[in-house]
Chains A and B, each alone.
Chain A
Amino acid sequence: MSAIRAFLCRLSGLFDNQRKDRELAEELESHLQMHIEDNIRSGMTPEQARRDALIKSGGLELAKEACRDRSGLPVVETVVRDLRYAARILRRAPGSTAVCVLSLALGIGATTAIFSVQRALLLAPLPYPEPDRLMVVWQGPPEERSRQPLSSPDYFDYRERNRSFEELGVQTLRWVNLSRDGTPERVWASICTASFLRAVGIEPAAGRLFTDREEAEKERVVLLSYGLWKRRFGGDPSILGRRINVNREVFTVVGVMPAGYHSPRLWRADASPELWAPVQLSRADSERDSHWLAAIGRLKRGVSQQAAEEDIKGIAAALAKQYPNSSARVSAWLLPLKELMVGEVRKSVGFLLAAVGVVLLISCANVASIQFARSNGRQSEVAIRTSLGAGRARVIGQFLTENLLLSGTGGVAGVGLAACGMGALRSMVPATIERASAIQIDGWVLLFSIGVTVATGLLCGLAPALSAARLDINSVLREGQGTLTSGRSRARFQSALVVTQFALALALANGAALMIKSYLNAVSAPVGFDSERVMVASISLEGSGYQGNIPAQAAFWSLLLERVRTIPGVQEAGATTKLPLQGGTNGSYLVEDEKYDPKANRPLIERSWVTPEYFGSMGISLLAGRLFAPGSATEARSEIVVNRAFAQQYWPKGNALGKRIYPNTPKRDWTGEIVGMVEDVPQWSLEIPPLPEVYQSLESTGRATKHLIIRTALPPLTLARAVREAVASIDPEQPVSGIRTMEAVFDRAAARRRFNTVLMEIFAGLALMMVIVGVYGVISCWVAQRAREVGIRMALGAGRRRIARMVVGRGLLISVLGILIGLGGSLALSEIVGSMLYGVSPTNPVAIVGVASLLLLIALLGSALPALRAASVDPVRTLRAG
């Protein structure tokens, strides 16, 4: 206790020194006077009394010094003194100090920003209690870990037979329509089991979760998100028990989830549910091959993922035996929820972090080089300090303090820069990435930046500090200047730094060039549709009257399309159940005389239901045959259109037209006749090549959600209002949502790659800027050191041009060395880089040659100014000065 108290006193003693000193002096003075008075009283002369008192006291100054050490913390005072001195030194050369601080600020700022992304997306725990126990259960063929959802009876079997999960639940995500309490609105809903909510483990902020009983008895109860409660119901305090309209049916609100709660998105990364309602499940075995439920389980304490997976696989194997027709090829596996939510992001964030680390290293090299050059100018200062008794440790300490001050300033500026860039960064993160809004500079990020700053300071300061400490005092003091040989070795060190910079910059810029090329490849690859001037609107026909009522839905859509076509500016209007690049539905078919076989591994075929006008509206060309005729579909028979990939899959050489396909079930209760073939359109992303697809007539599906596609001559979004009015004129309770251009859909698909690419561009740009500074610095130093040599050469008749060539040659030599080393490094890393690329080889010669030429140009630029300076040397003056 008392020791802590004393430490705090001493810490505070660091301030207000002067008052303390004055008090001490006064106290000692009064002590002395009292002593003298006593002495006089005992009979000494005033002279004698004073002498005696001074001798006995043992030295006033010594006492003051001892007290001063005791009243403060001498180490801290040394540091403060060093800091003051360092600040003075740095201020004396504002130009190079500014370059150092700017380099470090950019390096540290970029590192901080990317670390904050890593922290928010990867390192921070998921916002659920004990998130490490949450596992996603996927089904799939035994030999692959594919992410297929569960069927309803399978879920019951897994839930009841497993010994590993405390709770296991399932959900599916659906659009639902809200009406009556305001304008009709379409929101994402998590249709889930009560066990799903319990497995996730978040309690509602108000009310309660729904129960197993309510789920089993199909009660119409619902939980609202905090946002929906505030937005649509004005934060109604009596919301619990209120009846609201969901899909035109009355549901009772039983709870409101906490603000900021995000339901785990297992299935659609872009859906964020605002409503939770019980799912209606069936145990009927006929449902076993209908996979539509995403499952999440909370492991019992102490059960490992592996043990749980074996458990669940065992159950799947038993089911496969029991129900060979539906489950012969169905196994199950576990994926930690965290992996699901961040797995995909991990690689690209790691890549960016590595890139930004390279930027930081380049900036360190700049600072080290500048500081090193500067320390050389201070040899005599160091020599004098050493000869006056400064120990080696003090000299090193002084240099390190100076560099820490520098990196500290850079660090503060860098964190400031990163903080300013946060908004831009957040908005650049693709919306499909979970928790992008959590990116911020929090305590951990700050701690990380401080660590980086200190490490940077030590790294940059080490070389100058050690070389200063090794200084041979005698030779410096005798000669007044560093000798020529030590100058040479200094130049070698600096050149080595710049060579390193070139090598790192080449690797980085090459990576950036490849990323840009990949991005361009991804966005310029033919997509088979024309996104220009196309508007999309999504409409879900839900609730009584529509649900399962195919004729009612068909009537709505044909009326809507009819009315939309009369809107001025509409050139063509069609409808589809799914948009390109947005994923969708797939299944398998039997083609021609293929026989049903539950053990066969049939290829997955994408499935769409469209109106014939869809192809024209979306700009998808018909390659062969014709489109299906309206009204041609019956329950047992439809005309269908396939894409090129489908035709190639089954009839690589022949003709697909006129061929027949059947559902992959024991009974052939439906026949599809291929009447046309259309161009491929990528279904899942820009980078997954188009899969085989079957288009059926929109009239034959009861799927609730359909998209209206309008091709127009006007700016597409100007039609939004007219479209809403057209929908309202048919059904005033029907919401329209997702009004956007097809270009926005496309942009969204490219967002992730664009994010990585833009950041890589920024980093490479920063790196190149720093390399210019680096090469300029080292060549300038080199020229300065050789002023005398240049003078002699000129005096001996060398032309200015020749001198300039010599200097530029030096710059090019350094850059070529660096480029060669960087090439080696790039080749060594090509495999890692390759995994980030699309449609371009990691050793693409065009990129490498381009980047290498760019770096040579930079070397030229950086050495041009010093070359001019060298060429304008006045030989007479330099020779005289030397």
Chain B
Amino acid sequence: MTTETSPRLGLDYVMAAQAQKHVTVNETFRRLDALVEARALSRSVDVEPATPNEGEAWILTAARSGAWWSLMATDSLAVFRDGEWAEIVPVEGLTAWVSDEVGSVVFDGTNWIEASATLGSLQNLSLLGVATTADAANPFSAKLNSALWAAKTTGEGGTGDLRYTLNKEGDGDVLSFLFQSGYSGRAELGLIGDNDLLLKMSEDGSAWADVLRISSTRLSVPTSDGIMVTAINGAAPGQRRNLIINGDFSVAQRGATFTALPAGAYTLDRWLFVSAGGMTAGISQEDFSPGQTDVPGAPAHYMRWSLTGTASGNPWIEQRVENIRSLPDGEATLNFYAKASRALTMISRLRRNLGSGGSTTDQIAQESIALTGSWQKFEVPVSVTSLSGKTLGTGHYLSLEFYLLGGETAVDIDIADVQLECGPVASRFERLSTADNLRLCQRYFAKTWEYGSNPGSVTSLGSLLSATSGPSTTAFFDWRFPVEMRSAPTLTVYSPATAASGKVDASGTDLTATPLSISANAASFQSATHSSLALARAHATANAEL
């Protein structure tokens, strides 16, 4: 034996042939009595108690005071025994119960810390109750008023993310969150019996209704009241989303093929050929092959813009959208499909023309479109600025423009399914019926020829009918337009017999036509006098483009 005390707790050893061994042994028992299952009444009392009870102990504070305590060290155990105070200096790892904290503390060699702070892990617990008692039905149970799961930050060595993983055994099992009121279910969200994300709701905890179901390809709302929303993609529910009319190039009242186009000519309905930019340009309506999958939604047509020569300016087509208010400030999206006979860059641009007498034209979007030989979908985000402070003149409009830069050479550009809509999402093309599409186009252009027969065709089919009757043997014609037009249109009258403009046909004789009135919903005109009563026919076009 080389020392007289134990190395860790400092317990006195009984020495060989020692006198009064009981003294040494009892002193060791006193230390053990204080240290084994150690208990301190407090570790926050500064003033030495005047009348402590036998066996009571305190962990001393830095601000301790008193005749005995002031002689002892901070963090020591001050134990009252046998009518006097004794100091026990803690060793690392000493654990003590602190009565007024109702918890254990551990001395870490420097400070007393809560014992719970030393737990590095809790493994394979069968029950865990936080402020409540867990049981077999709820092996983990907590009774709280708030809970927080926070991501471990990068500064703490984490990633900043927080991914909460819940796993069920198999597809047919349930993985869900159940929301209760008074321990009666009201909502359940999760993978309930399959792998769709399902939201179920209940009014009484027993009858449940599926409200929302999301699979990997579909979101459905099976609830009986359906879905109620204030907007879809930034537009009113049910509102026609696409501001572009004839975006699928299916309506061609003026004809389906246009060659050597002059500047300012309208082509497929609503599409204006602005300039050839020094090239020779043609526009045609082309057919998609049935069953093609390059452009979804089974479109029937696309537009081909054919250019030959070399551009000295900007070859340019556009559509003018009536009323710039139709695209309110905020986010909007332009999307379309396009390809070209060779790789080239086409520019799409969206401008606001504030009309005659209005503020100057402003640009709200421009994007370079890299065309290749294959159909591609292009999405152009549009940030629409406020019209506050602008003056709106007569005939204001949005212009969606496609143009090429100077120097371009011969190319064929194909464009399909052009859509301009409110909101940040490029939704699926809004394909209208032929009747609806034609009616929208007829607000801007109408003709008396049947659909498929171009203006200027020599045919009486569809023509207006009158007779050179009355005292002056004059034929009167009244043409009610198929829909109210945007404005009083430009009227052109044709002889069905010769296609001469400004003429009507009186059974083989062209007579000069004279307008009587032109309004947004009708036009009337009369022929020059004829020598006798004769059946009179006339064709006409009405143009109210912007």
A in complex with B: no
Using a CB–CB cutoff of 8 Å, the interface residues on chain B facing chain A are none
Using a CB–CB cutoff of 8 Å, the interface residues on chain A facing chain B are none
